[in-house]
Amino acid sequence: MLETLQTLDRRWIFLAMFLAVAVPLIMGTTFPEEPSDQVMAVFDAVENLPDGSNVVMALDYDPASEGELQPMASAFTRHCALKKHNIYFMTLWPQGGPMIQRSTELLENDYPETYKGKYGTKYVNLGFRAGNEGVIKLVVEDLKKSYDTDVQGTNLNDIPLTKNLKNIQQVDLLCNVSAGYPGSKEWVLYGSAPFDIPTVIGCTGVQAPIMLPYIPQQLTGMLAAIKGAAEYEQAIINAYPELNDNLAAKEGLKRMGPQLVAHVLLICLIALGNVIYFWERKQGTS
């Protein structure tokens, strides 16, 4: 038996991982989540703003990390929509434009009474600008030096939401969803920390340890990986029970099923690998 495992073709491991992810995903298995204090800090930051507040939604990720981050971006957007906040979308990633499109579609389709046909008065898409942290430094000082038009080419002075907005120090909250550089760290270093802009973020699991030192001083809260997204969705559902029947509002919760089985499989593989290792050592072959 151990000899067979010693020379196990890795394609069997790939098949096991494929099934571990695919089966719970197809079955739509979900598990109860209890929002942690950190996630509740993010929830409260959005929830406690008066209805109709101004929120910058900076979505700095691409399709590669969409699996992990889109549920967060959707949850942030949904929560802001429930509070009827005014939303300014922007991205520092060239591939971020279509990611913003998913959120604007969510606003228009799921909350038509507040956002349908309200482009420019309830939400605006500033799109992508090159320059990484340079863009952040400019938008916190002088927005129109970096963005003179929105994504459709309309001058910001002709858009009601941006007409009187000098810089994003004037907004009530900054929400950032990021997959790396430029992203959350740059927003904290050049945006929120020097100007005390209340900021919440959502980031990948890999990025989470890097961002932990900034909580709670520079960052109000953080959603870490798909677990953070699932807990945030649960917090929103707890506050707005009508979302319980909305499957689109449970994307993160649905992805915790595959995560559970994949993690258990990983632990089994590590344990099995170590059994083989110690067996080999006993045999004197390692």
Partner 1 sequence: MKRTIPLFISAVTGFVLIGTAFIPKFVDWGNDAMAWFNLLAAFAFILGGGNLLKMQLQKISAQQPGWGYAAVTLIAFFITLFVGLAKVGVNPSVKFPEFAWSGEFQEEGSAFWWLFEYIFYPLSATMFALLAFYISSAAFRAFRAKNTEATILLSIAVIVLLGRTYAGVWLTGWLPNEPIIGSSGITYSDFHLPHLSQIIMDDFTTPGMRAITIGIALGVASTSLKVLLGVDRSYLGSDQEA
Binding site for partner 1 (CB under 8 A): 8, 10, 13-14, 16-18, 21, 31-33, 36, 62-67, 95, 97-98, 101, 129-132, 134-135, 137-138, 141-142, 145-146, 151-154, 194, 208-210, 212-213, 225, 227, 256, 259-260, 262-267, 269-270, 272-274, 277
Nearest approach, Cβ of 52 to partner 1 (angstroms)? 26
Nearer to partner 1, 52 or 195 (CB): 195
Our CB check for partner 1 shows the closer of 48 and 271 to be 271
Radius of gyration of the chain (CA): 22
Query: Residues 208, 183: contact at Cβ < 8 Å?
Result: no
Question: Closest separation between CB of residue 172 and partner 1, Å?
Answer: 23
Residue 223's identity, in one-letter code, is: L
Least distance (Å) from partner 1 to the CB of residue 11? 9
Between CA 208 and CA 223 the distance in angstroms is: 8
- Residue 202 has φ and ψ, to the nearest 5°, of -130, 135
> Nearer Cβ to partner 1, position 83 or 129?
129
Using alpha carbons, select from 171, 153, 155, 175 the residue that is nearest to residue 163.
Answer: 155
Q: Which is nearer to partner 1, 77 or 259 (CB)?
A: 259
C-beta of 82 vs 147, nearer to partner 1: 147
Neighbours of 219 (CB within 10 A): 26
Chain length of the chain: 286
Least CB distance to partner 1 at residue 176 (A)? 18
237 vs 32, 99, 176, CA distance in Å? 12, 23, 21
Distance between CA 92 and CA 185 in Å, rounded? 13
Query: Least Å distance between CB 88 and partner 1?
Result: 17
Query: How far is residue 254 CA from its own chain's centroid?
Result: 15
Pick 157 or 274: Cβ nearer partner 1: 274
- 2/270 with CB nearer partner 1: 270
CA neighbor of 136 nearest in space, from 206, 187, 77: 187
* Closest alpha carbon to 125 in 145, 149, 106: 149
For the bound state, the minimum distance from the C-beta of residue 50 to partner 1, rounded and expressed in Å, comes to: 30
Residue 67 Cβ vs partner 1, minimum distance, rounded to whole Å:
7
Q: How far apart are the C-alpha atoms of 244 and 213, rounded to whole Å?
A: 34
